[in-house]
Amino acid sequence: MQDLYGRKIEYLRVSVTDACNLCCSYCMPEDARGKCPCKNSMSIDEFHEIASAAAKLGVKKLRITGGEPLVRSDIVELSRALAQIPGIEDIAMTTNGTLLADKAEALFEAGIHRINISLDTLDARKYSEITRGGRLADAISGIKAALEAGMKPVKINSVLIGGFNDDEIEALARLTEYYPVDVRFIELMPIGHTAPYGENAYIPNSVVLEKLPELRELESEKGTVARLYSLPDAKGRVGLISPLSNHFCSQCNRLRLTADGCLKPCLHSAEEINVRGLHGDELEQTILTAVSHKPKMHVELSATERSESQRSMYRIGG
Ligand code: SAM
Ligand code: SF4
């Protein structure tokens, strides 16, 4: 599938639930916590049908995300069903990792060999604060379980928030010296609900390079939006994902499917196109319509200019 600007669309991010066991202050409003909008989430068969149609049209890569995908009791079966779709060459998951310890092996066996785990701090008190009650030890156990299960690569996603974790850039990056993991710093995005962060929270990823001048740039990988670096003799890499300071619209190869069955042509636009309940030709034509509605680029984002998305991140999946 190609969009109006010649970009090849091969990547579908599938949000499998809006529910989450944590409530990160940049992602989910406090009043959404504990409510279970999972009643609206699609079934395995519904996800399978939509993802299969997308694969038939040229999607090769899937990412399962949420909300927190591991709160779904059928996540192993759902992962297996999506991994087996003909044409899907690459399937991965993004998770907060806190429920992963018990499920990593089963997920690996179901076809999830690549995983991204969100971890913004190595301080247990700050972890509890940013996730509104999560336990750092649970996330660390999840990372260890992913490595033990043989998942590769294991990527750690850290949202960089000025005044919260910019003093931990070095400690987070140095995880790559001890463990075979990639640590990726992601600029905080002003989307949907985000706690009322002041301008100082939105810091560019260039601060990572300032704090760690020994980082050496590596060749970037096809299909990823991270600029890659490594510390001398490290086992893993450091990635910079810079949606504000260096947006990657010209390379955008993705569509997003929400848990309630809408396609989002662009993360930061308000447009959503329902595909739930559609079948056959009608489903395929609607997916092609979503691709043709991809804008050339999204609105400028900054501390004062917010995304036009009507959904908060926990209802999109990142
Ligand atoms: N619950 C899973 C997790 O936390 O990894 C998957 C869903 S979460 C919405 C996906 C990613 O979006 C996470 O890495 C999270 O840190 C990131 N994210 C959420 N809100 C964000 C924001 N306002 N700016 C930048 N990244 C954000
Ligand atoms: Fe939940 Fe992930 Fe959002 Fe945190 S970032 S509230 S873990 S969906």
The atom of ligand 1 lying closest to the CA of 20 is 1
**Chunked mean pLDDT (size 10), the chain, 318 residues:** 95 97 94 73 98 98 97 97 98 98 98 98 98 98 98 98 97 97 96 84 96 95 88 97 88 96 95 98 98 90 84 93
Per-residue confidence (pLDDT) for residue 110, from 0 to 100: 98
Per-residue confidence (pLDDT) for residue 196, from 0 to 100: 76
Q: Per-residue b/e over 140-170, b at no fewer than 16 CB within 10 Å? A: bbbbbbbbebebeebbbbbbbbbebbbebbe
pTM attached to this predicted model:
0.96
Ligand 1 centroid to 112 CA: how many Å?
A: 19
Please give the C-alpha separations between residue 99 and each of 33, 69, 260, in angstroms, as whole numbers.
17, 10, 23
Ligand 1 centroid to 25 CA: how many Å?
A: 10
- Among 14, 21, 24, 127, say which to mutate for ligand 2: greatest number of ligand atoms within 8 Å of CB: 24
List residues near ligand 1 (CB under 6 A): 20, 26-27, 65-66, 68, 94-96, 118, 157, 159, 186, 188-189, 191, 194, 313-314, 317-318
Per-residue confidence (pLDDT) for residue 38, from 0 to 100: 59
Ligand 1 centroid to 28 CA: how many Å?
A: 9
Which token pair is 98?
């806190």
The atom of ligand 1 lying closest to the CA of 317 is 9
The atom of ligand 1 lying closest to the CA of 312 is 20
As a whole number of angstroms, the distance between CA 227 and CA 139 comes to 25
Ligand minimally distant from the alpha carbon of residue 18: 2
The atom of ligand 2 lying closest to the CA of 313 is 3
Please give the C-alpha separations between residue 293 and each of 52, 198, 276, 297, 299, in angstroms, as whole numbers.
21, 33, 18, 11, 15
Ligand 2 centroid to 216 CA: how many Å?
A: 31
> What is the residue-wise DSSP string for 273-290?
EE-TT--HHHHHHHHHHH
127 CB-side CA count, 13 A: 18
Per-residue confidence (pLDDT) for residue 281, from 0 to 100: 98
The atom of ligand 2 lying closest to the CA of 28 is 6
For atom 4 of ligand 2, the residue with the nearest CA is 24
Ligand minimally distant from the alpha carbon of residue 65: 1
List residues near ligand 2 (CB under 6 A): 20, 22-24, 27-28, 66-68, 96, 118, 313-314
